[in-house]
Amino acid sequence: MNWYGVAAIWRFEMARFFRSIIQSVVSPVLSTSLYFVVFGAAIGSRIPEIEGVSYGAFIVPGLIMLTVLQQSIQNAGFGIYFPKFIGTIFEVLSAPISSFEIVVGYVGAAAVKSMLIGLIILGTSFFFVDISIQHPFFMLAFLVLTAVSFALLGFILGIWARSFEQLNLVPLLVVTPLVFLGGSFYSISMLPEVWQTVSKFNPVLYLVSGFRWSFFGTSDVPIAMSLAAVLLFASACLSVVWWMFHTGYRLKS
């Protein structure tokens, strides 16, 4: 293993995070606070408790997931796309570093960054609502698994994208709707039966549901299914990444 190489990539990616600390940290904290004010305090006060949890607290896991997903994809996607765009990727491709090590560096940094932001949002939420975490171990496990698998997805998009527009297309057109329709702000039991069935085809539902279970002990789908879904998703992404490096897809000519 070329650990110095992994560390070099990891440190480089983390440095970008700290270089743009305002954009990295302040902006998610601000937007989350706005969600709390609008959905938690203003609208939430007129919404009855969901499964014994106040609406303000109910949306916390969904909000964290929403941000972690977006940040993981964005950070990993940008991390690998930018060197491709400006041409510095040649250095990584000519270095004695394996594709696995490259992925550990880029995806690891992106996942750590989004987890940090997730935890900051969690911290922020304590100022607005009263929440307790029933299963902290599972909470962390879901956070890690989600951050890693969506960073892998972002990495795939970053290799695939030929323009900044393409890079932003999938998060915008696919991921954001899936997150909003995946029960981030409601329990799917509030939906008509037909839409409950449709929702079960949305992979994000399993993440949000499992993550919410680790907070409140209630979920839309069984926790085992949530775990299975996130593991399945992570391995699908891993396979695609492996294939990309194996064939040199859009990396090597």
Partner 1 sequence: MSTVVQVEGLTKTYDGGFEALKNVSLDIKEGEILALLGPNGAGKTTLISTICGITSPTSGRITVGGHDVEKNWRAARDLIGLVPQEINLEPFEFVGNTVRFSRGLFGKPRNDAFVDQVLSDLSLLDKRDARTSQLSGGMRRRVLIAKALAHEPRILFLDEPTAGVDVELRRDMWALVERLRADGVTIILTTHYIEEAEAIADRIGVINSGELLLVEEKDALMQRLGRKELTIELSQPIKEIPETLKEFNLTIGDANTLTYVYDATGERTGITRLLGALQEAGLTLADLQTHQSSLEEIFVGLVQEDAA
Q: Tell me: does residue 250 bind partner 1 (CB under 8 A).
A: no
- Could you say which of 59, 94, 132, 135 contacts partner 1 (CB under 8 A)? 94
Closest CB to partner 1 among residues 2, 202: 2
The helix/strand/coil state of 53 is strand
Closest CB to partner 1 among residues 12, 180: 12
Q: Tell me: does residue 4 bind partner 1 (CB under 8 A).
A: yes
- Report which secondary-structure segment, H or E, holds 148: helix 136-160
Interface pattern 210-249 for partner 1 (x via CB under 8 A): --------------------------------------x-
Closest CB to partner 1 among residues 19, 46: 19
What's the token pair of residue 76? 């990993």
Least Cβ distance, residue 17 to partner 1 (angstroms): 13
Which amino acid, one-letter code, is at 35?
Answer: Y
Contact yes or no for 109/10 (Cβ under 8 A): yes
The helix/strand/coil state of 50 is strand
Strand partners, 53: 50
Interface pattern 12-31 for partner 1 (x via CB under 8 A): x--xx--x------------
Cα Rg, the chain, nearest whole Å? 19
Q: Tell me: does residue 46 bind partner 1 (CB under 8 A).
A: no
Q: Tell me: does residue 96 bind partner 1 (CB under 8 A).
A: yes
Least Cβ distance, residue 252 to partner 1 (angstroms): 6
Least Cβ distance, residue 7 to partner 1 (angstroms): 6
Residues numbered 67-86 forming contacts with partner 1, rule: CB under 8 A: 83, 86
For the chain, helix (H) and strand (E) counts, in that order, are: 12, 0
Pairwise CA distance, residues 173 & 206, whole Å: 20
Of 191, 67, 210, 65, nearest to 134 by C-alpha is: 210
> What does the buried/exposed string (b/e) look like for 168-200 if buried means 16 or more CB atoms within 10 Å of the residue's CB?
bebbeeebeebbebbbbbbbbeebeeeebeebe
Least Cβ distance, residue 177 to partner 1 (angstroms): 33
Binding site for partner 1 (CB under 8 A): 2, 4-5, 7-9, 11-12, 15-16, 19, 83, 86-88, 90-98, 248, 252-253
